Amino acid sequence: MVLSTTSNGYEKSIVVDGLTRKFGEFTAVDGVSFDVRRGEIFGFLGPNGSGKSTTIRMLCGILEPSGGRASVLGFDVVNQSEQIKQHIGYMSQKFSLYDDLTVMENLDFYGGIYGLGNSKLAERKDFVLEMADLKGREHELAANLSTGWKQRLALGCAIIHEPRMVFLDEPTGGVDPVSRRNFWDMLYHMAEAGTTLFVTTHYMDEAEHCHRIGFIYQGSIIALGTPDQLKKDHMAGDIVEISIDTSQRALTAVGQTPGVDEAYFYGATIHAKVGSAARESLAIEKSLKSTGLSDFTIQVVQPSLEDVFVNLIETMR
User: Which residues bind to ligand ATP, rule: CB under 6 A?
Assistant: 23, 28, 46, 48-54, 93
Which one-letter amino acid corresponds to residue 50?
Answer: S
Residue 6 contacts which entry, ligand ATP, Mg ion, none (Cβ below 5-8 A, type-dependent) = none
| 54 touching Mg ion, by CB under 5 A | no
Considering the complex, what minimum distance in angstroms separates the CB of residue 104 from ligand ATP? 31
| 172 touching Mg ion, by CB under 5 A | no
Residue 195 contacts which entry, ligand ATP, Mg ion, none (Cβ below 5-8 A, type-dependent) = none
At 282 the three-state DSSP class reads helix
C-beta separation of 203 from 180 below 8 A: yes
Which residue's CB is nearer to ligand ATP, number 36 or number 59?
59
Which residue's CB is nearer to ligand ATP, number 49 or number 177?
49
Which residue's CB is nearer to Mg ion, number 28 or number 230?
28
C-beta separation of 266 from 244 below 8 A: no
Considering the complex, what minimum distance in angstroms separates the CB of residue 8 from Mg ion? 31
Considering the complex, what minimum distance in angstroms separates the CB of residue 253 from Mg ion? 37
* Continuous H helices in 164-276: 177-192, 204-208, 227-233, 248-255
CA distance 194 to 203: 24
123 φ/ψ angles, rounded to the nearest 5 degrees: -65, -45
Reported residue count of the chain is 317
User: N- to C-terminal Cα distance for the chain?
Assistant: 51
Q: Are strands 12-23 and 67-72 parallel, antiparallel or unpaired?
A: antiparallel
Among 53, 151, 257, 304, binds Mg ion (CB under 5 A): 53
Considering the complex, what minimum distance in angstroms separates the CB of residue 52 from Mg ion? 5
- Identify the CA nearest to 40 among candidates 185, 197, 171: 197
Considering the complex, what minimum distance in angstroms separates the CB of residue 3 from Mg ion? 33
Which residue's CB is nearer to ligand ATP, number 59 or number 270?
59
CA distance 240 to 263: 9
Considering the complex, what minimum distance in angstroms separates the CB of residue 27 from ligand ATP? 9
Longest dimension (CA), the chain: 77
- Identify the CA nearest to 244 among candidates 261, 265, 260: 265
C-beta separation of 185 from 217 below 8 A: no
Q: Which of positions 74-93 make contact with Mg ion (CB under 5 A)?
A: 93
Which residue's CB is nearer to ligand ATP, number 63 or number 240?
63
Residue 271 contacts which entry, ligand ATP, Mg ion, none (Cβ below 5-8 A, type-dependent) = none
Stretch that binds Mg ion, among 19-27, 45-53, 138-146, 189-197 (CB under 5 A): 45-53
Interacting residue ranges for Mg ion, rule: CB under 5 A: 52-53, 93
